Amino acid sequence: MGYKQLVFNKDSLFLVTGGAGFIGSNLCEAILNMGYRVRCLDNLSTGKQENVDLLIDHTNYEFIKGDITDFDTCISACEGVDFVLNQAAWGSVPRSIEMPLYYEEVNICGTLNMMEAARQKGIKKFVYASSSSVYGDHPVLPKKEGQEGNLLSPYALTKRVDEEYGKLYYKLYGLDTYGMRYFNVFGRRQDPNGAYAAVIPKFIKQLLNDEQPTINGDGRHSRDFTYIENVIEANLKACQASHEAAGQVYNIAYGGREYLIDIYHTLTSVLGKDIEPKFGPNRKGDIKHSNADISKARELLGYDPEYSFEDGIKLAIDWYKENL
């Protein structure tokens, strides 16, 4: 069962932090479409005003321009809220290597502010974004919760610390926290621009513009690319998970494995482009291969992803053709 059949109390209010971003705005839209109320908190540092404008006329949507690094903002944003979906963070492994202090402030202190605000306001469920980067240099595939290696970037460290706080807030205060270890999420509204853009939207935009994309490394890196609809399902099912399933982290992926060079050739084929890529140096802090064991999320959250990579990439390409 997907998320659209889930039923919450009719007056439920969801707070989505980072709700003007890629994942956050999709969560906001999905919850509104299900008939529930959404409060979006975003400082628009990486989120987009256009993602707010898309929903602002909806009667069940409220936007707060504010920052999770400000505790008073977090407290007021949690007023009357049933469920927190904490997506606010700065992403990108390479950028975190350049800006470690900023990542500490936003990703650790900001997330801790939100957990503490949620605790004080009696929030039912606190679902937060983590990352597959926490597996670090652990070589074994598929990646399984509890088998982590040495961290390779400040970004990964911030997410690991968030997870530890999530466990503590469950054990010490009884706050139901659920960590979502996302694996390479892609889909509609993912930003194709900038030096730190994700690979799929970046490639699609460049190919549509007849530009030659650069693949970091030899193209033999592999990733468990995960379509946005699967991530929405995971977040909303976590909001209905048991108290016993809280205080833990979960791999959120499809459970597949795609090589970058194969993805590139898929895109050129679907878009009808005959453009060979350039190959650049490996990115600092990158892991070579990533593939998720999602059995824990299946068992404890009822997570059952509907969209394969093939399903998702077709939908993503269609969206970018219409919106770029």
Catalytic residue among 103, 155, 170, 307: 155
Query: For 128-156, what is each residue's pLDDT tens digit?
Result: 999 999 999 999 999 999 999 999 999 99
DSSP string across 254-289: -S--EEHHHHHHHHHHHHT---PPEEEPPPTT--SB
Q: pTM to 2 decimals?
A: 0.96
What are the pLDDT digits (tens) for 10-69?
999 999 999 999 999 999 999 999 999 999 999 999 999 999 999 999 999 999 999 999
Radius of gyration of the chain (CA): 19
Please tell me the predicted confidence (pLDDT) of residue 288.
83
pLDDT of the residue at 216: 87
Residue 31: the pLDDT is 98
Per-residue pLDDT of 53-92, as tens digits, reads: 999 999 999 999 999 999 999 999 999 999 999 999 999 8
170 is catalytic: no
**Which run of H or E residues covers position 295?**
helix 295-301
Mean confidence (pLDDT) of the chain: 95
Cβ-proximal residues to 203 (8 Å cutoff; 6+ apart), any chain: 213, 263, 264, 267
d(CA 71, CA 93): 26
Indicate the domain borders of the chain.
13-187+228-256+292-306
The per-residue pLDDT for range 267-292, each reduced to its tens digit, is: 999 899 999 999 988 887 777 888 99
Q: How confident is the model at residue 1 (pLDDT cuts 50, 70, 90)?
A: low
Nearest to 42 by CA among 8, 65, 76: 65
Query: Considering the domain 13-187+228-256+292-306 in this protein, what is its CATH number?
Result: 3.40.50.720
End-to-end CA distance of the chain: 32
Omega within 30 of 0 (cis) for the link into 94: no
Give the model's pLDDT for residue 282: 86
